Each structure stands twice: as C-alpha cells, then as structure tokens.
Amino acid sequence: MRGSTVSVVVVIPMLVAVVSGCAEHGAAGAATDSRVPATTSRSTASTPPPTPRAARIDHVVDGDTVVVRLDGRRRTIRLIGIDTPETVKPDTPVQCFGPEASARTKYLLPRGSVVWLTGDARTGTYDRYGRMLAYLQPAGARITVNELLLREGYARLYVYDPSRRFTRHEPFARAERA
C-alpha cells in the first residue's frame, strides 16, 4: 500500500506538469500576434496570386520553418497559416510535441526534395524576422505541407495579422477541425 501511495504522489504532479506545459500551445482557436507588423512587404488583395516557384529543400529548422535553395540562394521559409510547438527558439524551452512536429516536417520535406513555393497576396512576402512567407507543396503532392500538418494535428492555425487573413484561411480552419 505504501508503494502505491508514493507512486500516486509522484505520478500525479508529473502528469499535471506535462498537461499544463502542453496546454499553452494547444489552446483551441487561431492564435494571433498583432504586436508587431506581420510583414515588411505588403500586397493588396487585388494583386493576382503569386506564381508557384520550384525550390529544393536544404534543411528543416523546425515544424514550421525550413531553408530552401531558390534561385541559387538559401532562403528561410516560414510556412503560412500554421504554428508548431517551439524546438529551437532562443531562450524558450522545447515545447510539448515540438520534436514530433519537427520530425514530421523533416519526413515530409527531406533534404534535396523539390517543392513548389507559393506566396500569398494578403500576407506580404516576409515576416518580421525576415523569413519568406510561403505555402510549400512537395512535387507530386495534392496538398501543401502547411495544410497536412494542420490535418494531422502537428500544427495549429496561426494568423499573423487578424486584419489581413491569409487567402487559404477558411480551408485551413476546416483542416484543423478535421
């Protein structure tokens, strides 16, 4: 009996710590961050959608950021419309399910693979960290990695600027609920 009491005293606080650590990232609904302007380059809604451009995966940084080779240069890409738990953000502990989200993105976007990069006329070209904003679709795939990560539960819907929702917001919201 004494052994089971000790187990309960140890296990319950551990479970509470794990669940509370995950709750911050996994909150329902779309997250927003309107403290800083989302982009350094903005387009109007009347601008035609950007043309997809072929790029090659250099490496995956984390679940929602990758580095590609585009036009002979390395470019850091932030996946539009999603957010995954942090794994490499300075001064931030690794968040629950972050390693799994990063591993899934690495699996979907292996080094050297060809992807189609498409921007969004509503988000602008770059985020506040200088990363190019894009949807990434592996060559031959039917949907973007952005949407697939939402469908599979590795990412949550993320709106950079609530006043300027990205073009695919509604389909992404449906994918997140699926």
Cα–Cα dist 19/25, whole Å: 11
21 located within any domain: no
7 located within any domain: no
Catalytically annotated residue among 2, 56, 75, 78 = 78
125 located within any domain: yes
Per-residue pLDDT tens for 77-113? Answer: 999 999 999 988 988 887 898 899 999 999 999 999 9
Position 178 scores a pLDDT of 85
Catalytically annotated residue among 104, 122, 131, 165 = 131
Catalytically annotated residue among 24, 35, 53, 86 = 86
Q: Structure pTM?
A: 0.73
Which domain covers residue 93, as residue numbers?
37-177
Position 139 scores a pLDDT of 95
86 is known as an active-site residue: yes
Give the domain CATH number at 160.
2.40.50.90
151 located within any domain: yes
114 located within any domain: yes
CA quadruple 141, 142, 144, 149: dihedral positive or negative? Answer: negative
Rounded mean pLDDT for each run of 10 residues along the chain, 178 residues in total: 51 44 44 35 48 97 97 97 93 88 98 97 92 96 97 95 89 92
For the chain, the domain total comes to 1
128 located within any domain: yes
Position 35 scores a pLDDT of 28
Pick from 82, 44, 45: which is nearest to 62 by CA?
82
